[in-house]
């Protein structure tokens, strides 16, 4: 478990990093290193070049932007976990952050690193899917935005170009007083979730749901937005029956199978955790704002 030989690069700016990416073959970006370093040590990843982003200026920040938040790619997960802005504007993310790895890995792991690595059972991609995040990337031709629904490109891979660097993620905020709930099931504290569920709800004064988002993590190669469940929720009254019925639509999903869980158990958990997340979200709706 020693990494194969590689050349280490230490750029100071995004432009420099992109230049290196564009000019070098088989290069890999290093963010917090909580996935890449073990993959190097186990030789699952064998890059010829490692480009370290840790000294690149300007990639680490959490700020209000438009009607939501913008989180720089190199922001440590710990900063997100303890950010008041995140708690205020994206409480779903705030709730999910303590479930990302362990305290020790969150000190070093980055927000963007988790997204770029794109493990489908990781919490950050699941929350980004739930919030319809917009991922800003930059390549030699300039910056571009990728809607999260277009971000996934298969198991552990994204639609970012090989010469692009992830700059930041915009997380549109939901309406004040919205309901949110993040639930996951893992064998042990701190493990990747076998299944996770992220729910967001808004409702009108009549107690009917006006907007709903339900996302499952750990099910397939990417976080899965449950469109049938969302369609069933919108317009329905917020009730145990509504949430149970919406959750039940998750039972038929295609779920992956591994040594930790067969597909049938993941499907079962998808139903259980969706219902829990929806009920939790509903219970948190601000009564004055409807619900």
Q: CB-wise, 4 or 140, nearer to other proteins?
A: 4
Rounded to a whole number of angstroms, the minimum distance from the CB of residue 181 to other proteins is 15
**Positions of E strands within 86-208:** 134-139, 142-147, 165-172, 179-185, 195-203
* Residue 72: strand pairing partners: 168
Q: CB-wise, 265 or 284, nearer to other proteins?
A: 265
Q: CB-wise, 34 or 168, nearer to other proteins?
A: 34
Rounded to a whole number of angstroms, the minimum distance from the CB of residue 270 to other proteins is 11
Measured CA to CA, the distance from residue 244 to residue 233 in angstroms comes to: 10
Q: CB-wise, 172 or 190, nearer to other proteins?
A: 190
Rounded to a whole number of angstroms, the minimum distance from the CB of residue 194 to other proteins is 8
Rounded to a whole number of angstroms, the minimum distance from the CB of residue 213 to other proteins is 22
Q: CB-wise, 3 or 175, nearer to other proteins?
A: 3
Rounded to a whole number of angstroms, the minimum distance from the CB of residue 47 to other proteins is 15
- Buried residues in 99-109 as b, exposed as e (16+ CB within 10 A): bbbeeebbebb
Rounded to a whole number of angstroms, the minimum distance from the CB of residue 234 to other proteins is 25
Q: CB-wise, 65 or 256, nearer to other proteins?
A: 256
- Which chain residues interact with other proteins by CB under 8 A? 1-5, 38, 42-43, 185, 187-192, 259-262, 264-265, 268-269, 272-273, 276
DSSP 175: P
- Alpha helix positions (H), the chain: 14-23, 36-41, 77-81, 84-89, 91-96, 103-108, 111-117, 123-130, 227-233, 240-248, 263-283
CA distances from 196 to 107, 110, 242 (A): 22, 20, 20
- Phi, psi (degrees; rounded to nearest 5) at 237: -75, 145
Rounded to a whole number of angstroms, the minimum distance from the CB of residue 273 to other proteins is 8
Pairing mode of beta strands 134-139, 49-52 = unpaired
284 sits in the region (left: phi over 0; alpha: psi -120 to 50; else beta) called alpha
DSSP 237: B
Q: CB-wise, 214 or 261, nearer to other proteins?
A: 261
């Amino acid at each position: 478990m020693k990494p194969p030989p590689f050349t280490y690069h230490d750029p100071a700016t995004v432009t420099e990093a992109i230049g290196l990416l564009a000019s070098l073959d088989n290069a890999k970006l290093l963010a917090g290193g909580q996935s890449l370093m073990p993959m190097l040590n186990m030789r699952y990843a064998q890059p010829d070049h490692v480009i370290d982003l840790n000294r690149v200026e300007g990639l680490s920040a959490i700020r209000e932007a438009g009607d939501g938040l913008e989180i720089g790619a190199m922001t440590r997960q710990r900063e997100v976990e303890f950010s008041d802005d995140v708690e205020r504007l994206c409480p779903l993310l705030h709730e999910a952050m303590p479930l990302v790895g362990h305290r020790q890995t969150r000190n070093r792991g980055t927000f963007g690193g988790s997204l770029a690595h794109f493990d489908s059972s990781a919490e950050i991609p699941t929350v980004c899917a739930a919030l319809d995040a917009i991922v800003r990337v930059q390549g030699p031709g300039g910056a571009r935005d990728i809607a999260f629904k277009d971000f996934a490109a298969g198991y552990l891979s994204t639609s970012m170009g090989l010469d692009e660097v992830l700059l930041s993620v915009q997380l549109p905020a939901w309406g004040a007083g919205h309901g949110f709930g993040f639930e996951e099931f893992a064998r042990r504290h701190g493990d990747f979730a076998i299944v996770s569920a992220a729910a967001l709800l808004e409702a009108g004064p009549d107690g009917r749901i006006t907007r709903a988002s339900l996302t499952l993590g750990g099910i397939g190669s990417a976080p899965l937005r449950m469109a049938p469940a969302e369609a069933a929720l919108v317009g329905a009254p917020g009730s145990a029956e509504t949430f149970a019925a919406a959750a039940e639509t998750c039972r038929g999903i295609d779920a992956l199978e591994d040594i930790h869980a067969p597909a049938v158990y993941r499907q079962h958990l998808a139903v259980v955790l969706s219902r829990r997340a929806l009920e939790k979200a509903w219970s948190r709706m601000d009564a004055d704002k409807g619900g």
